[in-house]
Copies of this chain bind each other. A is one copy, B any other.
Amino acid sequence: MSAQILDGLALSKETRARLKERVDALVARGVTPRLDVLVAAQDPASVKYVQMKRKWCAQVGIVGESYEITETTSQADLIGKIRELNADPHVHGILLQHPLPGHLDENMALMELGAEKDVDGITPQSLGRLVADLPGFRCATPLGIIRLLEHYGIETVGKRAVVIGRSIILGKPAALMLLQKNATVTIAHSRTQNLADICREADIVVAAVGRPEMVAGDWIKPGAVVVDAGYNRVEGRKGDVGDVAFESASQVAGWITPVPGGVGPMTVASLLSNCVEAAEATITNR
């Protein structure tokens, strides 16, 4: 192993410690940051994920309510709840935990969610502000990736970045954020031909495909920065498996994120940081 580790867990801890201080300062001024969550009660993964977010929120002092979305929740109920939370001055962030039950129109719901409370950065309004380089909340995972790169002083200007994957919450916003940091960005995906060759051109690789260990060591240019945003379940293996074959890639790369302990903790830290910013903005805008 020659690569240096981009330690997301360590940076996340640092970030959360600083956030705790900012929350304390807010509380002293009478504002307790609050993140409310709408979550499909029947989806065990969602419920578990929300519990985990709650735990991290509690650690830095962010409070919040959860609202269960069930098979009997109507679209009007959902929209009504979002409007109520949009209007509630005590609520700073609103999280619509994906996926919702199939009878609900998630996109319509996201279009209702106010940009100033979209701490997950996934509404069309927030994504559009990202395209237009306007202030707004950025998606938690790509924001976490960018902060990790910045923390370790990774140069992006004029570098070739290849983002593998084009999801709305990861690949596309990651590409746009790397572009904003003056990288030359290529977005590759399931229809890309000669993916290994394209990957080998990259000074920075962001893998966000959801296929365990798809990115092999011989896809990596020596010295490249490898960011693994994958967390896959593989039968017979414990814990999450990334999109990158860590063993072989870490022999070649200059920098690499581990799974776990890389992008995952930075995602949560960025969500919390967006929440604290949203709460701080209510004071600034008073």
Q: Which of B131, B166, B187, B192 contacts A127 (CB 8 A)?
A: B131
Which chain B residues border A176 with CB–CB below 8 Å? 131, 172
Cβ-based interface call for A182 (8 A): yes
Q: What's the Cα separation between A270 and B193 when bound, in Å?
A: 31
Cβ-based interface call for A274 (8 A): no
Distance in Å: Cβ of A200 to nearest Cβ of chain B:
13
Q: Which of B107, B126, B134, B185 contacts A186 (CB 8 A)?
A: B185
Cβ-based interface call for A129 (8 A): yes
Distance in Å: Cβ of A245 to nearest Cβ of chain B:
22
Query: Chain A interface secondary structure, helix, strand, loop or mixed?
Result: mixed
Cβ-based interface call for A157 (8 A): yes
Distance in Å: Cβ of A179 to nearest Cβ of chain B:
6
| Copies of this protein, total | 2
Are B128 and A193 in touch, CB under 8 angstroms?
A: no
Tell me the count of chain A residues lying within 8 A, CB to CB, of chain B.
34
Cβ-based interface call for A248 (8 A): no
Are B134 and A128 in touch, CB under 8 angstroms?
A: no
Q: What's the Cα separation between A123 and B129 when bound, in Å?
A: 9
Within A173-196, the residues touching B (CB, 8 Å) are 173, 175-176, 179, 182, 184-189, 191-193
Cβ-based interface call for A80 (8 A): no
Are A107 and B131 in touch, CB under 8 angstroms?
A: no
A interface, CB within 8 angstroms of B = 107, 123-134, 136, 157-158, 166, 168, 172-173, 175-176, 179, 182, 184-189, 191-193, 198
Query: Which 6 A-B pairs rank lowest in CB-CB distance, beginning with the nearest?
Result: A128-B128, A124-B128, A127-B128, A127-B131, A186-B186, A182-B191
